[in-house]
Every structure is written in structure tokens, then in C-alpha cells.
Structure 1
Amino acid sequence: MAAAMLRITLFSDLYLWDVQAGLRPYLIAFGVLLGLLGVLAAAWARAAREGDGYADGNAHPDEGAHGHAHSHTAGPRLASSRPPVSALQLFPPPALGPYSAAREDAQRAAVGVGTFPALPPGDPVDLSVAAFGSRAVYDSGRSLQGRTVRLTGFVTHGDGGTWYVTRLLVSCCAADATTNKVRVRSADAPATDTWVTVTGIWHPTGKPGSAAAGPPVLDATTVRQVEEPSDPYEKR
């Protein structure tokens, strides 16, 4: 387990599928601690086996005379944990995706309606899916009005041929992930779980804070398939 943890934190970005980048030093420290405990446990077990062997030699002085040799063990050996650890290194669990997003399809209650800071000048402006959704649903100042934005996420499908560019937002780790998604119009739907960058213009759908305001809608001008990022989650 220690080797697997150090491998995914020191030599790859796989740990980003489960926790934020800021937790990397703690994972490394924990991996080192596990390794040290493993070394100590192995040394203790070896010393115990050698002690058992010495005790057996003194307990049966007549074994040589009768031609017998007795094997003494302290009990059943524990099965090695190496196969499952090796499996973790060879086949790491995937990042959360469309299945996790589908569990949160119910619209969350509208909170925090108010004005947002102005967007930076120049189009298109790159926004996270979460930031776009917050402005589209809660910004009474309509800072998205008339602006061209660019969003990146994975594709999820809805009813009636609708589709969404979707991202998962984490505070600490994958266990607390929440879903943000933007409905895309005026473009054919890519396959589910495809990563895309969508450029387009916000399409208002209702009064800020109302149920009609969400999920937010983007009228797409371009949809481009991209590689999944090494860190697939958006951060709070």
C-alpha cells in the first residue's frame, strides 16, 4: 500500500482523481510512514520466527535419536496483501464521471442572488463550468449578457436529445464532489464522457434565482474534442 501511494503521488498525477493537489505532501508523508511501519512489522515477524526456531531446538533434544523432525508454527499464516496492492498500481480507479453527475440531476435550491464582478475584457473568456453556472443562475447584473465564453468539461446526456458540458466540483476530495453542468444548444451531441471545449454565448432562460434559470444554457458556436485533463475536477 505504501508503494502504491508513493507511486501515484511522486511519479504520476493519478492522486488528483481523488483529492486536491494541496493534499499531496500529506499523502507522501503518510506513504513514507506506512513504509516505515511495514519495515518494522517485517523485522518484528522475522525476529519472532527466529525465536520460535531456537525454542523448538531446545524443547526436543531427542528428535535426532528417533529420526523425527517436528515443524512448529504459531498459527495460520496471513495471506499476502501484495496482489491487491499490485492491482491498485496497475489498474488505478478512474475519476468520477457521468454516473456521479447523474446522481445529482435534481436542481439545487437557488441561493446567493446578487451582482457579480465584471468579466475580464476580451472574447472568448475562459470560465469554469461552476463559475459560468453561478453567473447564469444567480447574477442579477447579468454579467454574461452578450459575452462569448469558453467552457471545458465532459459530455453527459439528458432527455429528448439534450446534452450538457459537465464538471465535478470538489472541496477536499472526490468523496465530496458536486455536479455542475451547462446545457449546450445549436450543436450535435458528442458521445457520453467525451471531453470537449465549447465556445458560445449565454442563453438566458429565467429570472435570476428562479427554477427557470437553471440549468444554464449555452448557444454553441464551436465544439472541439479535447483530451481529459490530468486534474479533472474543478476546485472551490
Structure 2
Amino acid sequence: MRRYGPAVLLLLLGAAVLRISLFSEVYLRYVQPGLRPYLVVSAAVLVVLGLVAAGRSADAGPGPRVAWLLALPALALLLFPPPALGSYSAEREAAERAAQGVGTFPALPAGDPVDLTLGEFASRAIYDSERSLKGRTVRLTGFVTHDADGTWYVTRLLVSCCAADATAGKVEIRGAAAAPDDTWVTVTGTWHPEGTLGGDDAWPAVLDAESVRRIAQPANPYEKR
């Protein structure tokens, strides 16, 4: 059986990646949607290589036993894919504010409530010289995090490529009771101006909640940075 170790390892890795990228949307816990084709192709190549290796194993000598340890991560991904990053990761990351300075933003869509990402809401709240959020009802989606003093936030992890480069963005919620940490919610409310335009005291942005609705975690739990 040991001589088939490399082939089995390749097949396990390929099957695990295919499971999360081709047959489900679990891959969205780790990478951006645009990377799906690359994951599928890479997994298919691993499967083909595994089949080729299996065909040649009859003439090969036995592989080292330690190689089987490499199968454990593949089995874990195949059988028990880890969850998306949550409040623990958010707390470890220093909050990133928008790179742009104070300026104007495109007009918001007509009609209320308007759905915004946390990044869009925070950028407009902190940097928009025309205060386009004033008087508008907005809807934000994210997971719940808390400070030690009981202040709670709708939080989202922002990624450029994949979960490895994630940083946290959050909006303080006032006027509504909080759900437990890591609960996904959609909050509808109005912007509560705080601090100086473009200043550190304007962060994090604040929303006065009108309603808080618990939801299931979305297929893609991250926002594009």
C-alpha cells in the first residue's frame, strides 16, 4: 500500500479542492470568486497526476511513511472544511480606513433603504465632503463583534485576493440590542455623524439602527477591498 502513497495524496488533494470549488461554494470562505476557475483547473491537474502516478506505482518502490502525514490536511479539507474567518480574526486586525482622502462620491441610488457594503458606508461617512448619507436609510450586512464595554459592531472582513490578506472593517450600531458574536445580521438604519470629516475621531462610522434581522452566513462572507 505504501507504494501508492504519492498517488493517493494527489488524488485526495485534487478531490478536496474540487469539492470546495466545483461542487460547492465553500471556496468563497478562502478566496475571491474570480479565482474559482483556477482552483478547478488546478484540482483537475492534481487528479490526473494522481491517476498517472497510480498507474506507475506498480513498478515503483515504496514511498516514505512520513508522506502519509501530508494526507491529513487534504482529508480535513475534504471532510471538514474550516469555517470562514470571524470575530477572532477581526479583533486581531487593525482596522483599515479607506485610502482616499476627503472628497466627493458618486450619487447614491434612488430609493430607501439603499444596500451598501461596510466599506462603502464607512468611506462615505468618514470622507464624503457632500455628506451623501445624510437623510438616507441604508442597509448593512455583516457579523456581530463586541468591545469589552458592550459596544457592538457589524463587521466584515475585507480581502484583496484571499482570506490570508483579510483585514477588518466595522460599523458601530446604536439603538438596538446586539446578537452574540459571529451572528450574521442585516441592520437597517440611518447614519449618525461623529467626529471631524476625515479625522480619526470619525472612525468607526456609526449607524442608528431601525431594525436588526438575523440571517444565515452568505455564500461569500467577505467584501472586496
Same fold by TM-score greater than 0.5: yes
Aligned to 1:86: 75
Find the partner of 1:113 among 70, 81, 102.
102
Shift, 1:86, TM fit: 2.4
Find the partner of 2:26 among 7, 11, 14.
14
The reply on whether 1:147 has 2:144 as its aligned counterpart is: no
Structure-2 separation of matches of 1:121 and 1:109: 24
State the AA in 2 paired with 1:28.
V
- Alignment map for 1:9-88 (pairs within 5 Å): 9-48=21-60, 77=65, 79-80=67-68, 81-88=70-77
Contact 1:111-1:209 at 8 Å conserved across structures: no
Shift, 1:85, TM fit: 2.4
The reply on whether 1:96 has 2:96 as its aligned counterpart is: no
Structure-2 separation of matches of 1:177 and 1:226: 22
The superposition leaves residues 60-79 of structure 1 with CA deviations (integer Å, 9 ceiling, x where unpaired) of xxxxxxxxxxxxxx675555
Percent of paired sites with the same residue? 64
Contact 1:107-1:214 at 8 Å conserved across structures: no
The superposition leaves residues 77-103 of structure 1 with CA deviations (integer Å, 9 ceiling, x where unpaired) of 555354542222111011011011101
Decide whether aligned partners of structure 1 residues 98 and 209 sit closer, same or farther in structure 2, where only a CA change above 3 A counts.
same
Structure-2 separation of matches of 1:185 and 1:178: 23
Show structure 1 runs of 5+ residues with no match: 50-73
Structure-2 separation of matches of 1:75 and 1:221: 63
Structure-2 separation of matches of 1:33 and 1:21: 20
- Large movers: runs of 4+ above 6 Å: none
Structure-2 separation of matches of 1:142 and 1:162: 25
Contact 2:141-2:186 at 8 Å conserved across structures: yes
Contact 1:13-1:230 at 8 Å conserved across structures: yes
RMSD in angstroms over aligned alpha carbons?
1.9
Shift, 1:43, TM fit: 2.3
Structure-1 separation of matches of 2:46 and 2:140: 40
Aligned to 1:170: 159
Contact 2:118-2:155 at 8 Å conserved across structures: yes
Find the partner of 2:17 among 5, 12, 17.
5
Contact 2:95-2:169 at 8 Å conserved across structures: no
Structure-2 separation of matches of 1:233 and 1:192: 17
Find the partner of 2:146 among 143, 157, 169.
157
Show structure 2 runs of 5+ residues with no match: 1-12
Contact 1:110-1:209 at 8 Å conserved across structures: no
State the AA in 2 paired with 1:232.
P
Contact 1:183-1:218 at 8 Å conserved across structures: yes
- Alignment map for 1:135-214 (pairs within 5 Å): 135-214=124-203
Decide whether aligned partners of structure 1 residues 85 and 194 sit closer, same or farther in structure 2, where only a CA change above 3 A counts.
same
Structure-2 separation of matches of 1:77 and 1:148: 61
Decide whether aligned partners of structure 1 residues 201 and 19 sit closer, same or farther in structure 2, where only a CA change above 3 A counts.
same
Find the partner of 1:130 among 119, 123, 126.
119
Structure-2 separation of matches of 1:192 and 1:231: 19
Rg (Cα) greater in structure: 1
Structure-1 separation of matches of 2:60 and 2:95: 58
Deviates more, 1:103-112 or 1:134-143: 103-112
Aligned length: 212
Aligned to 1:56: none
